[in-house]
Amino acid sequence: MAVGEPNIAGGRVDLHVHSIYSDGTQTPAEILALAEERGVALLAIADHDLLTGSEELARLSAASPVKCIPAVELTACEGGTCLHVLAYGYRFGDSEFAAFVADGRRRLDEMSDRLIEVMERAGERVSVAEYGAFEHDHRLGGWKALHYLVEKGITSTPLDGARLYPMYGVGYDTAGFPTVAETCRAIHRAGGIAVLAHPGVTFGTLDGPVFEAKLRALVEQGIDGIECYYPRHDEATVARYLALCDELGLYVTCGSDSHGSFTGAALGCLPVTAGDIHLPQCYN
């Protein structure tokens, strides 16, 4: 389905949605139905270091008016900072890329294993063995450790558990995640495009010149575009990012980062259409 057809050109764009396969509360089928209901014409499930949701969405969307593109949100670390890199338009079934993504997911899950291990050694009311056998309802969003900590009465809500990782010395910087350059190379080898997710969240404290220098360095490492349109980016921030994309020849994307009812903004919340973004290889 090409850009220019009414349901693409006039519909909204949301290229950053999470499903129950990572930490959202909705299935791919529910996400697709909601996208149709809300007038989203271009959609992507970009789960954290998991391809399952995007692959399922591709199968479901064959008979849908919504155009869906391959996507995944990959974890990378650079200079002690955790970055999220959105991969778009990669080849489904690329075994090398699938292995790269799976390794990132393993490292992400091992952070939670490590947290429970450290907490048990510290005398908290947790058990590595018990945690291993624990099962949670994926429709609640979040991830296993967050719900286990609520079950044990250590935290009141799942989101409260996220603060315990740094408190117990469990960080992204020591988990062995790939660098931005390594992540971009893996995406490019699979025929995809590497987009820096929500820079206003990741680098929100940096002033203009410092951020621009950081972005140029990331572009040299393989970043192809910026998620300019994002719920937590104000108009001035969006304008600044769009100008940088124009100057540096970068792609422009839009995403709600919806996690269903778990946290964050709603799917399709931004009034952005295909004419506002620039990612033609993925939706032509």
**Number of domains the chain contains:** 2
* Statement to judge: residues 15 and 81 lie in one domain: yes
Per-residue model confidence (pLDDT) at position 6: 35
Q: Does one domain contain both 142 and 199?
A: no
265 lies in some domain: yes
Q: Is the pLDDT of residue 34 over 60?
A: yes
* 86 & 196 share domain: yes
Q: Count Cβ atoms below 10 Å from residue 243 Cβ, excluding itself.
A: 11
Assess whether 78 and 122 both reside in one domain.
Answer: no
pLDDT band at 263 (very low <50, low <70, confident <90, very high): confident
| pLDDT score of 204 | 78
**Do 182 and 124 reside in the same domain of the chain?**
no
Average pLDDT, the chain: 94
Residue 203 and residue 80 share a domain: yes
Residue 2: its pLDDT value, please?
35
87-116 confidence digits (pLDDT tens): 999 999 999 999 999 999 999 999 999 999
Domain that holds residue 217: 6-101+177-283
- Mark which of 155, 173, 191 sits at the end of a domain: 173
Measured in residues, the chain has a length of 284
The CA distances from residue 37 to 33, 41, 66, 274, in Å, are: 6, 10, 10, 18
Final residue of a structural domain among 122, 139, 173: 173
The domain that contains 183 carries what CATH number?
A: 3.20.20.140
Burial of residue 53 (CB within 10 Å: 0-12, 13-18, 19+) is buried
* Assigned domain for 1 exists: no
pLDDT band with cut points at 50, 70 and 90 for residue 281: confident
If asked whether residues 195 and 272 sit together in one domain, one would say yes
pLDDT at position 1 is 34
